[in-house]
Amino acid sequence: MINRREMLKIATAAGASSVLPLPALAAQPMSTQEKSEVECSLKRLMLRHTWTTTMSSSEYRDTVQFQFRRDGIAGFGEGAPIIRYQEYPEQAMKAIDAISSQIASGDPWMYQKFLAQMRRSLGDHQHAAMAAVDIAVFDWIGKKLGLPLYQFLGLDPSAAPITDFSIGIDTPEITRQKTREAADFPVLKVKVGLQTDEATIEAVRSVTNKPIRVDANEGWTDKEEAIRKINWLETQGIEYVEQPMPAHMIEETKYVRGKVHLPIFADEACTDVTMIPRLTEAYDGINVKLDKSGGILEALRWIEVARAVNLKVMLGCMVSSSCTVTAAAHLSPLVDYADLDGNLLVANDPWRGVRVEKGRLLLPTGPGLGLTAQHS
Ligand code: MG
Residue 137: its H or E element = helix 127-145
Contacts of residue 202, Cβ cutoff 8 Å, sequence gap at least 6: 172
Query: 237 and 354: one domain?
Result: yes
Q: With bands split at pLDDT 50, 70 and 90, how would you rate the model's confidence at 29?
A: low
Separation of 80 CA from ligand 1 center, angstroms? 14
Query: 78 and 184: one domain?
Result: no
Separation of 265 CA from ligand 1 center, angstroms? 9
Query: 295 and 167: one domain?
Result: yes
Separation of 7 CA from ligand 1 center, angstroms? 52
Separation of 51 CA from ligand 1 center, angstroms? 13
Separation of 284 CA from ligand 1 center, angstroms? 14
Query: 209 and 358: one domain?
Result: yes
Q: What is the pLDDT of residue 8?
A: 39
Give a yes or no: residue 122 inside a domain: yes
Give a yes or no: residue 289 inside a domain: yes
CATH number of the domain to which 365 belongs: 3.20.20.120
Q: What is the pLDDT of residue 7?
A: 41
Give a yes or no: residue 32 inside a domain: no
295: left (phi over 0), alpha (psi -120 to 50) or beta: left
Query: 114 and 176: one domain?
Result: no
Separation of 288 CA from ligand 1 center, angstroms? 10
Buried b / exposed e over 7-44, threshold 16 CB at 10 Å, is eeeeeeeeeeeeeeeeeeeeeeeeeeeeebebebeebe
Of 16, 337, 298, the residue nearest 133 (C-alpha): 298
Q: Where are the beta strands (DSSP E) in 153-230?
A: 165-167, 188-191, 212-215
Radius of gyration of the chain (CA): 22
Phi–psi pair at 185, nearest 5 degrees: -95, 130
Q: What is the pLDDT of residue 11?
A: 38
Separation of 163 CA from ligand 1 center, angstroms? 14
Give a yes or no: residue 282 inside a domain: yes
Q: What is the pLDDT of residue 58?
A: 86
Of 88, 93, 87, the residue nearest 40 (C-alpha): 93
Query: 201 and 103: one domain?
Result: no
Query: 92 and 139: one domain?
Result: yes
Q: What is the mean pLDDT of residues 22-33?
A: 55
From CA 230, how far away is CA 332, in angstroms rounded?
Answer: 27
Q: What is the mean pLDDT of residues 126-155?
A: 98
Separation of 99 CA from ligand 1 center, angstroms? 31
Q: What is the pLDDT of residue 50?
A: 81
Separation of 160 CA from ligand 1 center, angstroms? 20
Separation of 35 CA from ligand 1 center, angstroms? 39
Query: 207 and 68: one domain?
Result: no
Separation of 211 CA from ligand 1 center, angstroms? 17
Q: What is the mean pLDDT of residues 261-283?
A: 98
Q: End of a domain among 101, 118, 146?
A: 146
Of 223, 291, 232, 209, the residue nearest 255 (C-alpha): 223
Higher pLDDT, 18 or 363: 363
Query: 203 and 320: one domain?
Result: yes
Separation of 242 CA from ligand 1 center, angstroms? 6
Give a yes or no: residue 31 inside a domain: no
Q: Is the pLDDT of residue 23 over 70?
A: no
Q: Where are the beta strands (DSSP E) in 168-317?
A: 188-191, 212-215, 238-242, 264-266, 285-288, 312-315
Q: What is the pLDDT of residue 10?
A: 40
Separation of 307 CA from ligand 1 center, angstroms? 20
What are the tens digits of pLDDT across the range 200-236? 999 999 999 999 999 999 999 999 999 999 999 999 9
Query: 85 and 217: one domain?
Result: no
Q: Is the pLDDT of residue 270 over 70?
A: yes
Q: End of a domain among 130, 146, 162?
A: 146
From CA 333, how far away is CA 331, in angstroms rounded?
Answer: 6
Q: Is the pLDDT of residue 16 over 80?
A: no
Would you call 187 helix, strand, or coil by DSSP?
A: coil
From CA 293, how far away is CA 98, in angstroms rounded?
Answer: 21
Of 118, 120, 122, the residue nearest 103 (C-alpha): 118
Residue 151: HSE in the Cβ half-sphere, 13 Å Cα cutoff: 15
Separation of 38 CA from ligand 1 center, angstroms? 32
**Domain residue limits at 340:** 151-373
Q: With bands split at pLDDT 50, 70 and 90, how would you rate the model's confidence at 49?
A: confident
CA 170 to chain centroid: 25
Separation of 229 CA from ligand 1 center, angstroms? 17
Q: What is the mean pLDDT of residues 368-375?
A: 92
Query: 171 and 291: one domain?
Result: yes
Give a yes or no: residue 48 inside a domain: yes
From CA 200, how far away is CA 25, in angstroms rounded?
Answer: 59
The angle subtended at Cα 286 by Cα 284 and Cα 288, nearest 5°, is 165
From CA 10, how far away is CA 219, in angstroms rounded?
Answer: 67
Q: End of a domain among 146, 174, 204?
A: 146
Separation of 145 CA from ligand 1 center, angstroms? 35
Query: 126 and 49: one domain?
Result: yes
From CA 196, how far away is CA 218, in angstroms rounded?
Answer: 15
CATH number of the domain to which 46 belongs: 3.30.390.10
Average pLDDT of the chain, as a whole number: 91
Would you call 305 helix, strand, or coil by DSSP?
A: helix
Separation of 175 CA from ligand 1 center, angstroms? 18
Q: Is the pLDDT of residue 18 over 80?
A: no
Give a yes or no: residue 242 inside a domain: yes
Q: Is the pLDDT of residue 134 over 90?
A: yes
Give a yes or no: residue 350 inside a domain: yes
From CA 58, how far away is CA 35, in angstroms rounded?
Answer: 39
Q: Is the pLDDT of residue 83 over 60?
A: yes
Separation of 215 CA from ligand 1 center, angstroms? 6
Number of structural domains, the chain?
2
CA 52 to chain centroid: 20
Separation of 97 CA from ligand 1 center, angstroms? 29
Separation of 318 CA from ligand 1 center, angstroms? 9
Separation of 123 CA from ligand 1 center, angstroms? 24
Separation of 269 CA from ligand 1 center, angstroms? 10
Separation of 299 CA from ligand 1 center, angstroms? 16
